[in-house]
Amino acid sequence: MMNAKQCRMARAGLRWKLAEVADKAGVSTNTVARFEAGNEANKATIRVIEAVFEREGYSFGEGRVEWSEQSDPVPVRDRKRRGGAADQNRHISQSTVPDR
């Protein structure tokens, strides 16, 4: 199951605001913010938020967030700056994202 840091990482990778995640998950913005801040959340709520990211191609493992080659969370306008097509299969470890 996804943890708070992984949620922040996936949201940052998609460049989504809290409200976008909340809207797609059908939960309140405050719920997403509290979860990302490390507060306890209902397991069903976490699964719903996790499913939003999984539909975008993300998968969550122990201590990491990955996304598939088929999904490209970097907007087209930013691909050249971020490494283009060669950068489509990325892996982020939690140590690369600050806590807040």
Reported as a single tens digit per residue, the pLDDT across 10-21 is 999 999 999 999
Residue-wise DSSP of 30-95: HHHHHHHTT----HHHHHHHHHHHHHTTEEEETTEEEE-TT---S-GGGHHHHTGGGGSS-EEEGG
Residue whose C-alpha is closest to residue 53's, from 13, 26, 88, 91: 13
Evaluate if residue 63 carries a pLDDT over 60.
no
- Is the full-model pTM beyond 0.85? no
Write out the two tokens for 43.
């397991």
Percent over 90 (pLDDT), the chain: 53
Which domains does the chain possess? 4-96 (1.10.260.40)
Whether pLDDT at 94 is above 60: no
Note the pLDDT tens digit of each residue in 23-42.
Answer: 999 999 999 999 999 999 99
Would you place residue 76 in the very low, low, confident or very high pLDDT band (cuts 50, 70, 90)? very low
